[in-house]
């Protein structure tokens, strides 16, 4: 992850656009937190993490969590064609995960 952040910051980038699920969101948030560049989400599932300022970092096999507004994506883009092409079970599970994230965020 350290090399990813170094490349992102060292290339004079001001925006990282990432495509993926919750794992991609987590990596993008780590890059944003450590490099200061903005992130934009192109979500392939409704993870919910793209709408929160909660982040996690792992170093030396130890994970720390916290919240920081620097990790909030500037925008979240959802592909409706992709969503409609998924099996209904996958969409339901994805929606429930997204709702759980937003519920946790509302409680914080």
Q: Give the model's confidence band at 93: pLDDT under 50 very low, under 70 low, under 90 confident, else very high.
A: confident
Q: How many domains does the chain have?
A: 1
* Distance of alpha carbon 96 from the chain centroid: 17
- Comparing 11-20, 63-72, 86-95, the range with the smallest average pLDDT is 86-95
Q: Find the domain containing 69 and state its range.
A: 2-107
CB 72 within 8 A of CB 38: no
Q: Domain containing 37 — which CATH number?
A: 3.40.50.1970
Beta strand ranges found along 11-98 (DSSP E): 15-20, 38-43, 54-59, 62-67, 76-78
Q: Each residue of 41-70: pLDDT tens digit?
A: 998 877 778 888 988 888 888 988 899 999
What pTM, to 2 d.p., does this model score? Answer: 0.72
The pLDDT of 94-106, averaged and rounded, is 64
């Amino acid at each position: 992850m350290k090399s990813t952040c170094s490349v992102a910051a060292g290339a004079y980038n001001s925006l990282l656009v990432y495509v993926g699920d919750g794992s991609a969101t987590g990596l993008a948030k780590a890059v944003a937190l450590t490099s200061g560049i903005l992130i934009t989400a192109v979500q392939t599932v409704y993870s919910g993490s793209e709408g929160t300022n909660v982040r996690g970092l792992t170093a030396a096999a130890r994970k720390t969590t916290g919240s920081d507004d620097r990790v909030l994506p500037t925008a979240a883009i959802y592909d409706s064609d992709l969503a409609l092409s998924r099996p209904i079970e996958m969409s339901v599970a994805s929606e429930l995960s997204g709702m759980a994230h937003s519920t946790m965020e509302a409680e914080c």
